[in-house]
Amino acid sequence: MPLVDIHLLAGAFDAEEKKEMITKVTDTMVAIEGEAMRGVTWVRIIDVPSGQWGIGGKALTTEDIKALQAGG
């Protein structure tokens, strides 16, 4: 306790960014809950395949995310 699950569209972020999410989200949680909780703070990355995450009925692709990040 706690457990944090970060769900991402597969391919939208690379291994380095995923690692950074694990490290920084852990630090953010520990800053609130107390340093003594670090060892029992679990943060996981869950991938959802491209085309299997729908918003408003439209299935997102990795390309859609890249366009959105670029300011689209």
Residues in contact with its own copies by CB under 8 A are: 1-9, 12-13, 15, 17-34, 36-49, 51-57, 59-60, 65, 68-72
Rounded least distance, CB 63 to its own copies, Å: 13
Rounded least distance, CB 13 to its own copies, Å: 7
* DSSP at 57: T
Q: Are 11 and 62 in contact (CB under 8 A)?
A: yes
Measured CA angle at 47 (ends 58, 10), to 5 deg: 65
Find the helix or strand (DSSP H, E) in which 69 lies.
Answer: helix 62-69
Rounded least distance, CB 71 to its own copies, Å: 5
